[in-house]
Amino acid sequence: MFLEQFPEDNSKHGWIEVVCGSMFSGKTEELIRRLRRAAFANQKVILFKPKIDNRYSEDSIMSHQGSTLEAISILSANEILAIWDGEFIVAIDEAQFFDEAIVSVCSKLAQNGVRVLIAGLDMDYLGNPFGPMPQLLCIAEYVTKVHAICVSCGSLAQFSHRFNSDKNQVLLGAKESYKPLCRSCYNKSEL
């Protein structure tokens, strides 16, 4: 009975993994760690990043701890399918900056037997869901939520508090513009 329900068809099975959290929580560091493990196992990997994120480099991603990995900068999610050349793992950093097409692109890749690794902010500086991240979290088989440490009280932090006056949803920056806060400290802060 069990074998009839799940026949062996020798097809590849893909899936989607999302690493999410606030700024300074280690999302990119975790993405790099997973990709290095895959490379060590001789799995073909390709890494994408949004062209808008040029804080550290045009052709690599960099964690706040200084780890780097070569990446392809793209403007839109559909470019991933055009560039993908059968790699077993497709990784995407800063997924919140991509258009809504990222959801269908990731689904198509997973349906084609690809392991899709995604890292991104789940919330913007106002604490609202950020870009396509809610949909990516919904379709993912595996979700890892990482946390920073609240710089005010030392608790686990899940909010990226912006402490300048810019009100645009997208504002590239790091420690000069953002700090991680827990829910209690975030609610006490001025927005």
In CATH, what number is assigned to the domain containing residue 92?
A: 3.40.50.300
Q: Does any domain span residue 185?
A: no
Counting residues of the chain whose pLDDT is more than 90, the rounded percentage is 71
- Whether 107 is covered by a domain: the verdict is yes
Is residue 129, in this structure, part of any structural domain at all?
yes
Residue 154 lies in a domain: no
CB 132 within 8 A of CB 96: yes
Task: Kindly state whether residue 5 falls inside one of the protein's structural domains.
Answer: no
Q: Tell me, what's the pLDDT at 170? A: 57
What are the percentages of helix, strand and coil residues in the chain, rounded to 5? Answer: 25, 25, 45
Instruction: For residue 167, tell me if it sits in a domain.
Output: no
How many domains is the chain built from? 1
The pLDDT value given to residue 53: 80
- Return the pLDDT at 6: 43
**Is there a domain that residue 23 lies in?**
yes
The set of catalytic residues is 94
State the pTM of this model: 0.86
- Of 10, 6, 36, 11, the residue nearest 114 (C-alpha): 11
Domain range for residue 72?
11-147
**Residue 113 in 3-state DSSP?**
coil
Does any domain span residue 174? no
Q: List pLDDT tens digits, range 82-118.
A: 999 999 999 999 999 999 999 999 999 999 999 999 9
Low-confidence ranges of the chain (pLDDT < 70): 1-11, 55, 60-61, 63-64, 66, 165-176, 190-191
